[in-house]
Amino acid sequence: MSKKTKIPSAGETVTVKTQTRSFVQGLKDRKAILLPLAKYVGIIGAFYLIWASPWFQGNIVPSLTSLNARLANFFLRLMGQNTQVIDSVINEGNYAVNVKSGCDGLEAMIICLAGIMVYPSSWNLKWPGIILGLIFLFSLNLFRIITLYLTQRYWPAAFDIMHLDVWQVVFIMLAIISVVIWINWAHKKMRNV
């Protein structure tokens, strides 16, 4: 309920206008927000149920972490590093980075995927966002692994800060920003149709 009030001068009367919204309109407004939010939470929840399963942890995670380690190692070698990979560990002498579960970029990717999936638009608009978003975040994760290896090698005192404080925040923020960029793009496309 909103009130419009005029400040009276001496001897003047006050008029108050009120505007009320119907209960039904309030429910419709909440539904417009709560339904996509519930879908988003549902997608994230389903992901974590699958992610936590022994099958996923035993089969998908080792394959994905190994792939990340091998691709990061490829680029490190192009940069002149004499690294090698064993399972998901990138090492060179005394310097090593172990790409573990949680270092695979999956959480950021699911944030992006869920955000795009719940936004009200056609699948023709969602597919480019999903594909480009996942490619961007996968590539960003490789860059993150490479920079963490180089930090471990050349500035080991900063490794924990880079790993736990800097890259965690930057990675999640860029996942959210990629969804916002896609929403702006999709919104413009829908307006032009």
Q: How far is CA 189 from CA 121, 126, 156, 186, in A?
A: 10, 11, 47, 5
Q: Residue 13 falls within a domain, yes or no?
A: no
Q: Average pLDDT of 129-133?
A: 97
Q: Write the CB contacts of 89 (distance below 8 Å, at least 6 apart in sequence).
A: 69, 96, 97, 98, 99
What pLDDT does 181 receive? Answer: 96
6 falls within a domain: no
Looking at the structure of the chain, the number of domains it has is: 1
pLDDT digits (tens, 9 = 90+) for 79-102: 999 999 999 999 998 899 999 988
Q: Measuring CA to CA, how many Å separate 174 from each of 74, 82, 101, 102, 178?
A: 24, 30, 20, 16, 6
Q: Are 112 and 179 in contact (CB under 8 A)?
A: yes
CA 175 to chain centre: 3
- The whole-number average pLDDT for the span 36-45 is 93
Lowest mean pLDDT among 19-33, 47-61, 129-143, 159-173: 19-33
Q: What is the mean pLDDT of residues 98-113?
A: 93
Look at residue 11 and tell me if it is in a domain.
no
Give the whole-angstrom CA distance, residue 182 versus residue 193: 17
> Is 20 a domain residue?
no
121: closest CA among 42, 34, 36, 47?
A: 36
Q: Tell me the pLDDT band of 19, cut-offs 50, 70 and 90.
A: low
Task: Please determine, for residue 55, whether its predicted confidence score (pLDDT) is greater than 80.
Answer: yes
**β-sheet with 84-86: strand ranges across:** 84-86, 89-92, 95-98
Radius of gyration of the chain (CA): 25
Residue 23 covered by a domain? no
Looking at the domain assignment, is residue 19 inside a domain?
A: no
Range of the domain at 40: 28-192
CA distance 149 to 96: 7
- Distance between CA atoms of residues 65 and 88, nearest Å: 6
Asked whether residue 8 is domain-assigned, the answer is no
Mean pLDDT of the chain: 89
Q: What is the pLDDT of residue 33?
A: 78
